[in-house]
Amino acid sequence: MGLLDKLRGELVDIIEWIDDSRHTLVWRFPRYHNQIKNGAKLIVRPGQQAIFVHQGQLADVFEPGTYELTTDNIPILSTIAGWKHGFDSPFKSEVYFVSTRQITDMKWGTPNPIVMRDPDFGPVRIRAFGNYALKATDPRALLTELVGTDGEFESDEVSELLRAIINTAFADLVASSKIAVLDLAGSYQEFSAQLREEVESRVDDEYGLAIPQLFIVNVSLPENVEKALDTRSSMGIIGDMGKYQAYQFGQAMTDAASNPAGGGASEGMGLGMGFAMANQMVHGMGQAGAPAMAAPPPPPPVATVWHVAKAGQSIGPINMDQMQGMVGDGRLTRDSMVWCQGMAGWVSAGQAPQLAALFGAMPPPPPPA
């Protein structure tokens, strides 16, 4: 091999990127110390852009197609390198390929709960997650702001930044919308569109990136709040709690009756549930009109007071306990005249039914001698 052939082998004559990855945004052509041959072929495939960088300065950008590199199609590079009348010698330049196709499997989520003021529940904490698509639209801004001299730039290297921007935009959107938590599920599509526009406005001009798609998959509440909502929904579905309890008692009694192995325990349980259900039914019937109230107890009986005739005078009033004491010490006998309210006149104590128990049973007359 001659010296000329060896020199030609050191020159790059085909520049291309066969992209077999799904997440590479920018890839630098591995030129090493080789120089690009005058008239070299540049192949830019669909979904790609190629940009030349000469001595740290951004030069020409090529859209998809096949090019023969001459001063005619690299005017910026020709100006930077000072080629006034064309060039016949090789040149050195870095070539970056930028993927312009969408990367669709990007994920986002709120690492910490976002506090919002709900019109129904007051301050609540919510979490959200979803997915989005990423696309490079301005290779110059992308190389300047994010890539730098990196030989290969993956979407993962910018995902943390994008997630932070999405979370901030989502918090601002929720705060400004003042929508109720229970209405968020019906507004995912509208919220997703607004969130995508807000995020894209923050990354498009500065980083040369676009967010063609962004979706909110779910917005969730803390577990204890979700349980409280489930309980509230269940109570709304049940409606009349008294009827529901009566139905539950009936079901339990049916199950107990259909279990012959329950023995005395199941019979006792069924009897207890039967009494409880009867009590519920009586209580429910009492609620048909006005709220049922317990019947008041009857008034206590009025104590009977007596008067006793003694030496032509009326002694009293005397209650039953005092009358019993007078019987005990002999001051009141069967022949003593007594009176109480409701009696037509004075009668002997032995003839008053209320006082008969005080004197005990009278023995029958003795038999004849």
- Residue where one domain finishes, among candidates 99, 124, 159: 99
Is residue 255 in some structural domain?
A: no
CB of 347 closer than 8 Å to CB of 337: yes
Flag whether pLDDT at 266 surpasses 70.
no
Looking at residue 189, its pLDDT comes to 87
Reported as a single tens digit per residue, the pLDDT across 285-322 is 555 554 545 667 776 666 788 888 888 888 878 888 88
Q: Which domain holds residue 329?
A: 306-355
340 three-state secondary structure: strand
Residue 365 inside a domain? The answer is no
> Which of the four pLDDT bands, split at 50, 70 and 90, describes residue 21?
confident
Do residues 207 and 184 share a domain? yes
Mean pLDDT across the stretch 200-223? 86
Same-domain pairing of 345 and 317: yes
Residue 276 pLDDT > 70, yes or no? no
What is the spatial distance between Cα 64 and Cα 47, in angstroms, rounded to a whole number? 7
Query: Which H or E run includes 233?
Result: helix 223-238
User: Which of residues 221, 250, 279 is at a domain's end?
Assistant: 221
Q: How confident is the model at residue 4 (pLDDT cuts 50, 70, 90)?
A: very low
Average pLDDT estimate for 71-78? 74
Predicted structure pTM score: 0.55
Total number of domains constituting the chain: 3
Q: Which CA distances in Å does 261 have to 54, 252, 267, 289?
A: 92, 15, 10, 43
Task: Give mean pLDDT, residues 103-113.
Answer: 88
Asked if 14 and 30 sit in the same domain, the reply is: yes
108 lies in the same domain as 217: yes
Q: What is the pLDDT of residue 107?
A: 92
pLDDT for residue 362 is more than 60 = no
Q: How far apart are CA 216 and CA 187, in angstroms?
A: 10
Measure CA 29 to chain center. Answer: 50
Last residue of a domain, one of 164, 198, 221: 221
pLDDT at 243: 64
More confident residue, 122 or 339: 339
Q: Is the pLDDT of residue 34 over 70?
A: no
C-alpha–C-alpha distance, residues 146 and 150, integer Å: 9
| Residue-level pLDDT at 5 | 47
State yes or no: pLDDT of 181 exceeds 70: yes
How far is residue 112's CA from residue 103's CA, in Å, rounded to a whole number?
A: 26
Stretch 16-35: mean pLDDT: 82
pLDDT tier for residue 272 given thresholds of 50, 70 and 90: low
Please tell me whether residues 34 and 51 are part of one structural domain.
yes
The pLDDT of residue 35 is above 90: no
Contact 126, 136 (CB under 8 A): no
Are 268 and 253 spatial neighbours (Cβ–Cβ below 8 Å)? Answer: no
Which pLDDT score, from 0 to 100, does residue 132 have? 94
Domain identity same for 166 and 200: yes
CATH number at 333 reads 3.30.1490
**Residue 137 dihedral angles phi and psi, to the nearest 5°:** -120, -25
**Which of the four pLDDT bands, split at 50, 70 and 90, describes residue 7?**
very low
Query: What is the average per-residue pLDDT within 69-95?
Result: 71
Percent of the chain topping pLDDT 90 = 15
Which of the four pLDDT bands, split at 50, 70 and 90, describes residue 9?
Answer: very low
Q: What is the pLDDT of residue 70?
A: 79
- Residue 326, domain member (yes or no): yes
Indicate whether 13 belongs to any domain.
yes
The per-residue pLDDT for 3 is: 44
- Mean pLDDT across the chain, nearest whole number? 77
